[in-house]
Amino acid sequence: MGSARTGHHDGLVSALRRARLHQNWTLERAVQEIGAHPDGPSGATPSLLSAWERGNVVTSARYRSVLCAIYDESPEILFAHQDHNLWDLPLTNTAPAPSRQQPRLLRSYAVLSEAMRHVAASARERLVVTGSRSRDAAYLAAIENVLHERPTLIHYRILFGPPRHEILQKHLQSLLTLRDPSDRSYGWKTLHIGLFAESERPERFFVASEHAAVVTLPSLTAAEMFDTGISLTGPDATALVQHAIQLYAAADPIETLDAISKIAIE
C-alpha cells in the first residue's frame, strides 16, 4: 500500500487532497470511489488515504493509477508532494507559504512551449495569461481544452494592444464561445478578458496557475525572437496570478464576440 515517510507540512495542501476537495468528497466517499472503480484494489481506508494526502505514506503504483482515473489528473501532479516535496498553496491565508523550487531557465522554444502547455493543462483554480502576441496553436488549444474540461476554473486573459496574429483573435472568440463572462452559475465569474491600449502598460508575457508559471523572455540567440523563458512554482506563481488580477481591474473589459471582432489585428 506504500512506504512510510517523515516530514511536517502543517497548513500546506497536497494536490491529492485538493483533488478530493474539488469533488466535494469526504475521505470516506473517496475510498468508496476507489473501491467502485473497475480496477480499484481493496484495502484502502480513510486513514490511509489521509496519510497519502499528507505525504506520510507513499502511494503504491496500483492505487496511483486508480486515483489518477477517478480524479482525472496526472500522477506528476497528484503525487508531486510525495515524489518531489512539492506542495500546493494552503487552503487559508493563515497557513505558512509552501516551499518553492529554484527557477528553471527554458532555453529553447520546444521546451518553453511544452512548459506553457503544462501550466495551462494543470490549472485547477485559476489560469492567467498575458500578452497579445500568442500564435502557438497547441498552447492556445491547451487553454481552450482545460476551460472546457474544468468549468469552474477562473480564467484571465490580459491583452496589451490588439492581437498581433489572427490565431489569437480566433482564440479569444473561442473563449467567449466556451464561457459567458456574465454567467454566475458557479457563484463567480469564470472568464475575464481585459484590454489595455498599447501605450497604457508595458507588454508582459506569462502564463500562471495557482502552483506553476512560465514567464517568456527575449531569445538568448536571436534579436527578434521570444523563445526563452523561466519556470516558477509555489508562491512565485501565485504572485503572478495576483499580478494579472490587478491588471484586469485596470483594463477595459472585453466581454462579447462583437467587441472581439472590432479589435483590429496588427
The domain that holds 192 is classified in CATH as 3.30.870.10
Q: Is the pTM of this model over 0.85?
A: no
Does residue 92 form part of some domain? no
The CATH code of the domain that includes 24 is 1.10.260
Q: What is the distance between the alpha carbons of residues 198 and 226, in angstroms, rounded to a whole number?
A: 19
Based on DSSP, count helices (H) and strands (E) in the chain, helices before strands.
11, 8
Do 72 and 181 fall within a single domain? no
Look at the chain and report how many structural domains it folds into: 2
Could you report the average pLDDT of every consecutive run of 10 residues in the chain (266 residues)? 55 83 89 86 84 90 90 84 73 46 88 94 94 94 96 95 94 96 88 88 93 92 84 91 90 92 73
The domain containing residue 257 runs over which residues? 104-261
Does residue 98 form part of some domain? no
Do 190 and 134 fall within a single domain? yes
Q: What is the pLDDT of residue 100?
A: 58
Q: What is the pLDDT of residue 139?
A: 96
Q: What is the distance between the alpha carbons of residues 212 and 242, in angstroms, rounded to a whole number?
A: 13
Does residue 53 form part of some domain? yes
Q: What is the distance between the alpha carbons of residues 76 and 15, in angstroms, rounded to a whole number?
A: 10
Q: Which of 26, 21, 45 is nearest to 35 (CA)?
A: 45
Is 135 in contact with 225 (CB distance < 8 Å)? no
